[in-house]
Copies of this chain bind each other. A is one copy, B any other.
Amino acid sequence: MATVTAAEKRDQAKNAYNAFLAVCPSRQLLDRISDKWVVLILCALGGDADGGIGEPAAMRYSELSRLIAGVSQKMLTQTLRALERDGLVTRTVTPTVPVTVDYALTDLGLSLYRTTRRLRHWAQDHMDEVRILREHYDADH
């Protein structure tokens, strides 16, 4: 009876998750990360604020709130707490008056940021094309 190597264990673990299945935990995780606020928050913390030139950096709640136009206080708080729970973001409270709270990507968060950054770029890079295709669709329907 051969023992299972660590690499084999990892392969088995991979095959155990299938996000197409509603009951699979990875599905719930995929549902969570396929969320517009998650995408924008990770991009902000990843340093995309000034067009993609920056480095990952800690940001304050109020900075995030100002940068991500349209996010409600409730959704920002809720999403940041969820990201913290999933280990994607650190939340560092400094007992100043008023209190200051810094949020920053963890290594895990950084690994996901590299994909959400692509999503944002895709939306910006293909906006013109999609716009035209929408007009064609609307003319035909």
Contacts and interface: CB of A to CB of B under 8 A. Distances in A.
Interface of A: 13-15, 17-23, 25-27, 29-31, 33-36, 38-40, 43-44, 48-49, 51, 67-70, 84-87, 108, 111-112, 115, 118-120, 122-131, 133-134, 136-138
A69 B21 contact: yes
> How many copies, total?
2
A94 to B, nearest CB: 18
Contact of A19 (B27, B120, B131): B120
Given A85-B137, A129-B108, A134-B86, A70 B22 contact: yes
Nearest to A84: B137
Nearest to A13: B128
